[in-house]
């Protein structure tokens, strides 16, 4: 599958991969700064942004999509940075192509409980079933399902010209695959896990799974940050990344 992407800067390539319900713009704050020293490639995963849609959505096929892009662009010595679902795609990609380093932002190589995003899934399903195109009505439904204002604003970034940029139907149907993870053989690639101190996406109990699959791992916790740590603590994340990249 040919993915939509955006390139900035020169030198060593850094591929930035967004999370669920997002798009390549979600990591703009990192790409804008990193592109001063590196070539940044932001990508829309399948069923997101301007990339094609498909009825199949799991980490193997998503990683294969990104691998195809890397081969098409003839990228060498690639650094992968992925947030949430994009972090899992980056980790899976280590099994397919040569990679220099990997950074997974607030995600672990484990299977997640499918209830984590159930309010979002239910709200989107209702909006689609009712064929809502009015933003106020969509916001009302999301609030009824208990979604917070930041979550609603994030989702609405992908609502353009009265339709969703992400393939909500397939995401809902394939959500069990998005939560899932198949343990991989130990990978010695230098890997950085950035954990939001207030997030429950990486817990201490996940550390054995992290180190068994990625033994050459460094874990950094940014206190006071939640799941979208790159947006809430951009400068701290960038400082960690620059230190990690040059070592």
Q: Which residues are known to be catalytic?
A: 84, 227
Contact 59, 18 (CB under 8 A): no
Contacts 24+ apart (CB under 8 A), 62-68: 62/89, 62/92, 63/89, 63/92, 63/93, 63/95, 63/96, 64/96, 65/1, 65/3, 66/3, 66/15, 66/17, 66/93, 67/93, 67/96, 67/97, 68/1, 68/2, 68/3
């Amino acid at each position: 599958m040919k993915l939509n992407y955006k390139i900035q800067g020169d030198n060593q390539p850094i591929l930035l991969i967004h999370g669920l319900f997002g798009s390549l713009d979600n990591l703009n704050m990192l790409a804008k700064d990193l592109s001063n020293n590196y070539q940044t490639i932001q990508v829309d995963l399948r069923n997101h942004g301007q990339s094609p849609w498909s009825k199949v959505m799991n980490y193997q096929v998503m990683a294969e999509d990104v691998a195809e892009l890397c081969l098409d662009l003839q990228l060498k010595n690639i650094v992968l940075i992925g947030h949430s679902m994009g972090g899992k795609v980056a980790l899976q990609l280590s099994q397919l192509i040569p990679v220099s380093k990997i950074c997974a932002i607030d995600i672990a190589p484990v299977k997640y409980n499918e209830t984590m995003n159930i309010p979002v899934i239910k709200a989107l399903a209702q909006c689609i079933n009712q064929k809502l195109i009015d933003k106020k009505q969509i916001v009302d439904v999301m609030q009824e399902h208990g979604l917070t204002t930041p979550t609603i604003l994030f989702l609405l970034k992908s609502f353009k010209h009265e339709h969703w940029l992400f393939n909500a139907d397939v995401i809902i149907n394939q959500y069990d695959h998005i939560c899932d993870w198949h343990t991989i053989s130990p990978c010695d690639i230098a890997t950085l896990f950035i954990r939001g101190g207030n997030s429950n996406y990486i817990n201490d109990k996940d550390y054995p799974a992290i180190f068994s699959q990625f033994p050459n791992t460094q874990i950094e916790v940014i206190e006071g940050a939640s799941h979208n740590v790159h947006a809430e603590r951009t400068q701290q994340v960038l400082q960690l990344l620059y230190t990690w990249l040059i070592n």
